[in-house]
A = this chain, B = another copy of it.
Amino acid sequence: MSGSTMQKRMLDAMRPSALGDEPVRWQQRKSAQTRLKMLEAAVDCLVSGGYAGLTTAQVAERAAVSRGAMHHHFATRIDLVAAVVDHIFYQRIRLFLDDYLGTVAQRSDVELIDLATEAHWRSVQTREYAAYVELAVAARTDPELNAAFEPAARRYDEVWTAEMIESFPQWRDQWHAMKLGSDFAIAVHSGLLLHRPVFGQERIDMVLQLSMQAIRALYKA
């Protein structure tokens, strides 16, 4: 299984429906470009102001587009939010793969788990993950957001699981352990991120080390 095949399959599975084939018309290209500019501005708003800071006026200002253009692409705020949700999950997959696949060349099987775990820890420190956390937390108390968020989150989880089974056929007989290790890493890393301001780097590193030991022990058993 080549890295590029894996990358293509996962990205296809998570690609927002709005991003179909590459358009040829100038208008459509410009439109898609403006749309992307607004989505990136929305991520900026999420990171700097949280879900409450994701307002149509703020996004329009950051993206340097008029409120009219905003309304043309996203009729209501929740339409924008739904697009941002898809965009964030897509970017999370894309950025993780870019990072991880750049490290796996010429490595042995056992090293891959460590590399994947380390890549995951790096991935939670990105602005995209910060935006994801804002959405995930806000979705717990906002039914409209949750209606867009939870299905996307479930699909992301399914793609993640399926890919793990496909990409590591050598461990197919113990994929339950792989899934457990993945869930474990996800929980530890996001929890560490939440408590980072209080814990500080030193205690973070200690917990990361302990977690890695637990994951390695899981594969030996």
Enumerate chain A interface residues (CB-CB to B < 8 A).
Answer: 47-53, 130, 133-134, 136-138, 140-142, 150, 153-154, 157, 179-180, 183-184, 186-192, 194-195, 197-199, 203, 206-207, 210-211, 213-214, 217-218
- Considering the chains assembled together, what is the distance between the CA atoms of A217 and B203 in angstroms? 18
A221 — nearest CB in chain B belongs to which residue? B213
Q: How far is the CB of A46 from the nearest CB of chain B, in Å?
A: 8
A184 to B136, CA, bound (A): 22
Q: How far is the CA of A180 from the CA of B213 in the complex (A)?
A: 13
Given contacts A50-B141, A186-B191, A187-B192, 17 further A-B contacts (CB under 8 A): A48-B141, A50-B52, A50-B137, A51-B52, A52-B52, A52-B138, A130-B140, A134-B141, A157-B198, A180-B206, A183-B195, A183-B203, A183-B207, A187-B191, A187-B207, A210-B218, A214-B214
Most buried by B among A186, A210, A217: A210
A156 nearest in chain B by CB position? B198
A194-B133, A210-B180, A214-B214 in contact; A140/B50 too (CB < 8 A)?
yes
CB of A166, distance to nearest CB on chain B (Å): 20
- What is the CA–CA distance of A133 and B141 in the complex, to the nearest angstrom? 12
| Chain B proximity of A57: nearest CB distance (Å) | 16
A152 to chain B, nearest CB (A): 10
A194 to B117, CA, bound (A): 19
Residues of B within 8 A of A189 (CB): 191
A83 to B206 Cα, complex, angstroms: 33
Q: Which A-B residue pairs are the 9 nearest by beta carbons?
A: A191-B191, A187-B191, A52-B52, A214-B214, A50-B141, A190-B191, A187-B192, A137-B137, A153-B198
Cα of A184 to Cα of B187 in the assembled complex, Å: 11
List, in ascending order, chain B residues with CB within 8 A of A47's CB.
141
Across the interface, A195 reaches (CB within 8 A) one of B51, B186, B192, B199, namely B186
Q: Is the CB of A137 within 8 A of B214?
A: no
